[in-house]
């Protein structure tokens, strides 16, 4: 081997030419994560004026998701059947999202997730039919996702996944958010539970999707998880939910038939195709499935 080859090899093995070690790359990712973890959309709690009462709501709690809660456990324990009135947007929230189809998609994602989760305990019946509990949810505020920034963030995130051991966190700009108010009313119209809830997307937990409602679409399901835990437990849950999903939840998450036909009104989940689409930043509109007609007689 020529001596000049070994000389060049020694040169390129010295800084700044030496390939960074795995530990150095991981350290870089940790520092980047620490720098961006505080990047999230600020979405305060907001009243839309649609709840039967706000007086019983407790004080604001939460870090990632802010919430005020009221729950009457003994009353909820008597309920066997539940109906979900389709979620609507307040006038102020609707004015921020021009596309009616986008607003409808977010609403259905919320109602679908809520219907599937509540199926673990309750019998779900179509809206308009007699039920022990009726759920009403209103999107009180929404922060649109900046599609251009989400596109750049997707390229950076996906690209880093090929070049680095772990992906780079999402750019902490142009993040979306959601604020919701919801309540559970008994057959007499008495409020058995209510929640004000808000959350902004953050750089670590929420993948960018190139859609004005990309973040709201994912956050709607997170609200549904929070509110359903309250209704199922009959009290404010403590800590993270570490339990494994039920068989019916898993089947529905994969896009299968829900446990109760009433949930078909909100469409079936995109399943693995939706997971793959979100991995590469595709708009949820590409994989969202149309609801099937529900028999009401």
Strand partners, 40: 202
Per-residue pLDDT, 153: 74
Q: Give the Cα-Cα-Cα angle 114, 117, 121 (nearest 5 degrees).
A: 120
Per-residue pLDDT, 8: 45
Stretch (H or E) spanning 9? helix 3-12
Two tokens, residue 291: 């609801």
Two tokens, residue 288: 């969202």
Q: What per-residue string of b and e applies to 16-26 under the rule 16 or more CB within 10 Å gives b?
A: eeeeeeeeeee
Per-residue pLDDT, 270: 93
**CA–CA distance, 193 with 57 (Å, rounded to integer):** 9
pTM of whole model > 0.75? yes
Give pLDDT < 70 ranges for the chain.
1-39, 156-169, 292-297
What separation in angstroms does the CA of 148 have from each of 17, 86, 214? 34, 31, 12
70-91 pLDDT, tens digit each:
999 999 999 999 999 999 999 9
Kindly give, in sequence order, each residue whose CB lies less than 8 Å from that of residue 99, ignoring residues fewer than 6 positions away.
212
Per-residue pLDDT, 244: 87
Per-residue pLDDT, 266: 97
What separation in angstroms does the CA of 266 have from each of 124, 138, 173, 174, 293? 12, 16, 31, 28, 10
Residue found by looking up tokens 């929070």 in the block: 226
Per-residue pLDDT, 38: 52
Question: Is the CA virtual torsion 59, 43, 215, 83 positive or negative?
Answer: positive
Per-residue pLDDT, 107: 98
Per-residue pLDDT, 155: 75
Per-residue pLDDT, 293: 59
């Amino acid at each position: 081997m020529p001596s000049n080859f070994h000389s060049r090899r020694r040169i390129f093995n010295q800084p700044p030419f030496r390939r960074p070690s795995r530990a150095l790359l991981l350290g870089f990712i940790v520092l980047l994560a620490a720098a961006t973890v505080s990047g999230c959309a600020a979405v305060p709690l907001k009243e839309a004026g649609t709840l039967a009462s706000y007086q019983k709501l407790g004080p604001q709690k939460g870090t990632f998701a802010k919430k005020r809660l009221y729950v009457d456990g003994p009353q909820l324990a008597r309920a066997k059947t539940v109906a979900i009135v389709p979620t609507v947007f307040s006038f102020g929230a609707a004015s921020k999202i021009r596309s009616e189809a986008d607003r409808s998609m977010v609403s259905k994602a919320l109602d679908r997730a809520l219907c599937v989760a509540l199926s673990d305990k309750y019998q779900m019946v179509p809206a308009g039919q007699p039920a022990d509990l009726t759920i009403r949810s209103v999107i009180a505020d929404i922060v649109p996702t900046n599609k251009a920034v989400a596109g750049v963030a997707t390229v950076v995130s996906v690209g880093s996944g090929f070049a680095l051991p772990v992906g780079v966190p999402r750019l902490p700009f142009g993040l979306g958010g959601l604020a919701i108010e919801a309540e559970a009313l008994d057959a007499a119209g008495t409020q058995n539970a209510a929640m004000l809830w808000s959350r902004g997307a953050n750089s670590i937990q929420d993948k960018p999707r190139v859609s004005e409602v990309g973040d709201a679409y994912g956050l709607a399901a997170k609200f549904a998880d929070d509110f359903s835990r309250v209704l199922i437990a009959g009290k404010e849950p403590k800590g993270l939910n570490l339990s494994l999903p039920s068989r019916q939840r898993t089947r529905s998450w994969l896009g299968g038939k829900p446990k109760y036909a009433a949930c078909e009104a909100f469409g079936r989940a995109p399943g693995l195709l939706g997971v793959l689409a979100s991995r590469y930043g595709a708009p949820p509109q590409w994989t969202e499935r149309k609801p099937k007609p529900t028999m009401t007689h």
